[in-house]
């Protein structure tokens, strides 16, 4: 198809995706339909274009810049949102420069756009153009509203490093005074990735996530004191459009206390009401929500490992709140539900209790009719990072330690043996026997907590065996 004086003179081009050297910057050839009277095109058609590889970027605003003269030149501007750029009439020479922090910083791509060609410009890629025909209507969809609090970046049109070959030399065209004053590439403010927020950063998993992800300008860790999910103005607590990921590492986990009136209320507040607040924010702002679930969403009666698509059937209040939270998070378009079991972190836990008993000469009675796998918080954090970095398919993933399932009594014996103590000192008892003398409420436990790991392994993540993690954990604790 060709254009003559802004009019289309050829038709029939199929919808086609064309990659560029800049990651995420993608050109699309657009079908244009018409005859001697004029033409028609679907400038943005979500279903077809997403199927063709366009990110489902959720535009909220449509802008048009009309340019009278040939040679009008604007840019180079990088905003903290995605853009779908096209022309409704006329023709432009477009130039895009990657201004994002990372290995592709400074990469350049140029091409011409007419009504039959559009381009998706990801957040942080500098955008500029020069009109090649009079009466050019330059249109762009964006997925955020302009804000004075947002982070912008600019590059000088004449920067010698990127050396854009403008069809009409810049000294011969009209450029705004503001655009002429933009910095050279060496002085550009680089656009950082969207922020990752870890909620519940003060807990065992939160601390493991801090260890895994480290410190960087786009990483933010918030304890409950710093971000209360129950606060009335949560939607205004952050400029949420600047966030790409929220990891919910906080939860109410006192399974027995949850069976009391006060505990039940607290469990529902943290595991359901708070999760619902996060889910609303994530869905409204296109954020990836990572949520950690539990084996307690099952009743433990299956005679095989539980798969992600098995029906939820919780036994107690804690399991009910976790199941409700899972159902809420599953409605968020971009979500990962991490279902795990028997979590061990850097605080008070079963492994440390057994090690202490062994050292003090106490011979414990430990439950031997519940079967599962230990999962260390470092492995959960590593698995979450893998799913995010690999951009795995959204959904629910089981994530526990690997290896042969064991009972709690088996684990206690391993702890004794690894500490140089006689494992025979551990006596196995049934769950009913163990809790027979309990004076307070006792939550029902699933007897089978073994989770099938095939799905996350197919996504490229292999967890360490629970026994290997246990050995390393005890060695680190005793160092």
> What are the chain's domains?
3-187 (2.60.120.10), 195-478 (3.40.50.720)
Name the least confident of 215-224, 375-384, 404-413, 415-424: 215-224
DSSP three-state, residue 334: coil
What's residue 479's pLDDT?
63
Q: Report yes or no: 289 and 244 within 8 Å, Cβ to Cβ.
A: no
| DSSP H or E run through 341 | none
What's residue 1's pLDDT?
42
Q: Report yes or no: 153 and 188 within 8 Å, Cβ to Cβ.
A: yes
What's residue 11's pLDDT?
64
Dihedral sign for Cα 140, 142, 147, 150, please: negative
User: Using CA atoms, how far apart are residues 373 and 403, in angstroms rounded to an integer?
Assistant: 8
- Looking at the chain, how many residues does it have? 479
User: Using CA atoms, how far apart are residues 269 and 229, in angstroms rounded to an integer?
Assistant: 9
- Whether 397 is catalytic is no
User: Using CA atoms, how far apart are residues 109 and 437, in angstroms rounded to an integer?
Assistant: 73
Rg (CA), the chain: 28
pLDDT at 140 over 60: yes
| Look-up of token digits 């990127």 | 162
- Report the b/e string of 322-343 with b at 16+ CB within 10 A: bbbbbebbeebeebbbbbbbbb
Name the least confident of 10-19, 110-119, 321-330, 365-374: 10-19
**What distance lies between CA 318 and its chain's CA centroid?**
26
- Average pLDDT of the residues in 403-425: 97
User: Using CA atoms, how far apart are residues 154 and 80, in angstroms rounded to an integer?
Assistant: 12
Q: Report yes or no: 230 and 250 within 8 Å, Cβ to Cβ.
A: no
Determine the Cα angle at 91 with ends 167 and 156, to 5°.
45
Q: Report yes or no: 356 and 412 within 8 Å, Cβ to Cβ.
A: no
- Average pLDDT of the residues in 261-268: 96
| DSSP H or E run through 473 | helix 466-478
Q: What is the pLDDT of residues 266-309, one digit of tens each?
A: 999 999 999 999 999 999 999 999 999 999 999 999 999 999 99
Selecting among 129, 138, 140, 336, the annotated active-site residue is 140
Terminal-residue alpha carbon distance, the chain: 72
Selecting among 77, 152, 218, 394, the annotated active-site residue is 77
Q: Report yes or no: 337 and 291 within 8 Å, Cβ to Cβ.
A: yes
Instruction: Count Cα atoms within 13 angstroms, Cβ side, for 478.
Output: 15
Q: Report yes or no: 346 and 207 within 8 Å, Cβ to Cβ.
A: yes
Name the least confident of 10-24, 68-82, 258-272: 10-24
Dihedral sign for Cα 261, 340, 288, 194, please: positive
Whether a cis peptide bond, with omega within 30° of 0, leads into 76 is yes
Q: What is the pLDDT of residues 11-36, one digit of tens each?
A: 678 999 999 999 999 999 999 988 88
Backbone angles phi, psi at 465, to 5 degrees: -65, 150
Could you say which DSSP state residue 135 is in? S
pLDDT at 142 over 70: yes
User: Using CA atoms, how far apart are residues 192 and 343, in angstroms rounded to an integer?
Assistant: 33
Q: Report yes or no: 158 and 170 within 8 Å, Cβ to Cβ.
A: yes
Query: Which residue did the predictor score with more confidence, 9 or 29?
Result: 29
What mean pLDDT is reported for the chain? Answer: 94
The closest of 75, 150, 141 to 108, measured between CA atoms, is 75
Q: What is the pLDDT of residues 143-191, one digit of tens each?
A: 998 888 888 999 999 999 999 999 999 999 989 999 999 999 999 999 9
- Whether 221 is catalytic is no
């Amino acid at each position: 198809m060709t254009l003559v004086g802004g009019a289309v003179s050829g038709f029939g081009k199929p919808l086609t995706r064309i990659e560029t050297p800049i990651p995420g910057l993608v050109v699309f050839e657009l079908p244009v339909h018409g005859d001697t009277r004029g033409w028609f095109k679907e400038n943005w058609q979500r279903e077809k274009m997403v199927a063709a590889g366009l990110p489902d970027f959720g535009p909220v605003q449509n802008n048009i810049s009309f340019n009278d003269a040939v040679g009008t030149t604007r840019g180079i501007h990088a905003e903290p949102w995605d853009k779908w750029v096209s022309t409704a009439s006329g023709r432009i020479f477009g130039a895009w420069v990657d201004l994002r922090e990372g290995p592709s910083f400074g990469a350049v791509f140029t091409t011409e756009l007419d009504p039959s060609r559009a381009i998706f410009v990801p957040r942080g890629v500098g955008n500029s153009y020069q009109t090649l025909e009079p009466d050019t209507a330059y249109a762009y969809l964006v997925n955020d509203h302009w804000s004075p609090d947002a982070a912008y970046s600019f590059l000088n049109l004449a920067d010698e490093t990127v050396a854009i070959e403008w069809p009409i030399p810049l000294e011969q065209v009209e450029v705004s005074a503001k655009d002429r004053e933009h910095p050279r590439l060496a002085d550009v403010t680089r656009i950082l990735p969207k922020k990752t927020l870890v909620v519940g950063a003060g807990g065992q998993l939160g601390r493991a996530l801090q260890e895994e992800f480290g410190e960087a300008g786009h990483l933010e860790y918030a304890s409950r004191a710093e971000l209360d999910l129950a606060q009335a103005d949560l939607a205004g607590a952050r400029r949420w459009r600047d966030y790409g990921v929220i990891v919910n590492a906080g939860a109410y986990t006192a399974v027995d206390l949850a069976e009391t009136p006060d505990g039940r209320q607290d469990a529902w507040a943290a595991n359901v009401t708070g999760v619902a607040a996060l889910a609303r924010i994530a869905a409204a702002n296109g954020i990836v929500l990572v949520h950690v679930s539990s084996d307690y969403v099952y009743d433990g009666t299956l005679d095989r490992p539980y798969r992600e698509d098995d029906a939820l059937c919780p036994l107690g209040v804690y399991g009910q709140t976790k199941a409700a939270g899972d159902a809420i998070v599953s409605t968020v378009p971009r979500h990962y539900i991490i279902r795990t079991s028997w979590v061990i972190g850097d605080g008070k836990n079963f492994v440390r209790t057994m090690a202490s008993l062994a050292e003090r000469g106490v011979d414990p009675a430990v439950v031997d009719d519940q079967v599962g796998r230990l999962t260390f918080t470092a492995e959960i954090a590593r698995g979450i990072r893998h799913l995010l970095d690999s951009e795995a398919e959204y959904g629910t993933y089981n994530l526990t330690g690997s290896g042969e399932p064991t009972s709690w009594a088996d684990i206690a014996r391993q702890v004794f043996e690894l500490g140089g103590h006689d494992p025979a000192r551990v006596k196995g008892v049934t769950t009913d026997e163990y809790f027979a003398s309990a004076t307070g409420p006792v939550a029902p436990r699933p007897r089978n907590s073994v989770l099938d790991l095939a799905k996350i392994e197919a996504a490229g993540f292999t967890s360490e065996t629970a026994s290997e993690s246990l050995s390393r954990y005890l060695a680190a604790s005793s160092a």
